[in-house]
Amino acid sequence: MKKLASFITATMLSLPATAGMIVSQTDFSDTSAWQLNGDATQNNDRLVLTQGLSQSGSAFLSSSINLLNDTSFSAFFTFEISQPVGLTDVDGIQGADGLVFVVQTNDTNVGSQGLGIGYQGIANSLGIEFDTWTNTTLNDIDGNHVGINLGGNSQSVAQASESDAFNTGGIWSAWIDYNGINDLLEVRWSNTGTRSSDAGLSLNVDLASELGSSDAFFGFTSGTAAGGGLHEIVSFEFRNDFAPISAATAIDAPPAIALMLAGLIGIGYRRKVK
């Protein structure tokens, strides 16, 4: 696997910045391409962000991606939040605060516990939170919603409620698409694996300005406090252009991460300097 990874990296570095890239990981039996921070760990074929009380964990691809194609991208991932313990929210469900899909500029970042969901304090970032706790101080609409967060601020700038609980077990799918031409961010989610035609949440945002850099790391965070639970990422796929992904067409790649040249237009791939 190390020889394959070295070959792929060398090939990518020899290509012009216009070469396209797909990152596809059908499970996390191999996390060699990821930087795990805080309480994040690997368990069998899943990426575990947090699994107890008073924890904060993050995991980011250890290679930054140079966003040259209008900062556009499409991502698809599956996750499971289960084994809730500790405090009970106003909706009657035990558990912690959820997890966040994050685009930011430092792969070793991990934010604060609890209501910070491992995201709070990560500057120059975009976060899509799957929030499972009602924090009135953050103006949460309820204890089970999706939110868009900016600049490491846990108070969302846009929110949408979800009727089915995220944190009672079962696989959820999420699609994050950003069109840098019109600065439109769209978020979709489902517990059936089916991508809806309409976005569940959207926002016009200038991602390039939010990041303050053309290099970005993609990954996830989570945080717990007096309420906890098991927060796991099951699979992940990323494309370096606005190229929305459906679960039905997600690449059937080997368990280890696959970096593929797809002829897409726009960004390069840059190894982190150790």
pLDDT tens, the chain, 274 aa long: 433 343 333 333 333 344 457 899 999 999 999 999 999 999 999 999 999 899 999 999 999 987 777 889 999 999 999 998 888 888 888 888 899 999 999 877 776 666 678 898 999 999 999 999 888 888 999 999 999 999 999 999 999 999 999 999 999 999 999 999 999 999 999 999 999 999 999 999 999 999 998 889 999 999 998 988 999 999 999 998 899 998 655 544 444 445 544 433 333 444 443 3
- pTM (2 d.p.): 0.85
Instruction: Give how many domains the chain has, as a whole number.
Output: 1
Cα(19)–Cα(8) distance, integer angstroms: 13
pLDDT at 155: 94
End-to-end CA distance of the chain: 20
| DSSP structural state of residue 181 | T
Neighbouring-strand partners of residue 62: none
Three-state DSSP state, 44: coil
Non-local CB neighbours of 273 within 8 Å, separated by 6+ positions: none
pLDDT at 99: 96
The CATH number that applies at residue 135 is 2.60.120.200
pLDDT at 74: 95
Query: Which two tokens mark 261?
Result: 């040249």
Q: Which domain holds residue 99?
A: 2-271
Query: Which two tokens mark 168?
Result: 């009672």
- H or E element: which one contains 91? none
Three-state DSSP state, 186: strand
The answer to whether 250 and 237 have CB atoms below 8 angstroms apart is: yes
Query: Which two tokens mark 76?
Result: 């698809």
Non-local CB neighbours of 88 within 8 Å, separated by 6+ positions: 94, 227
Placement of tokens 């690997």 in the chain: 42
pLDDT at 248: 54
Give alpha helix (H) positions in the chain. Answer: 2-13, 207-211
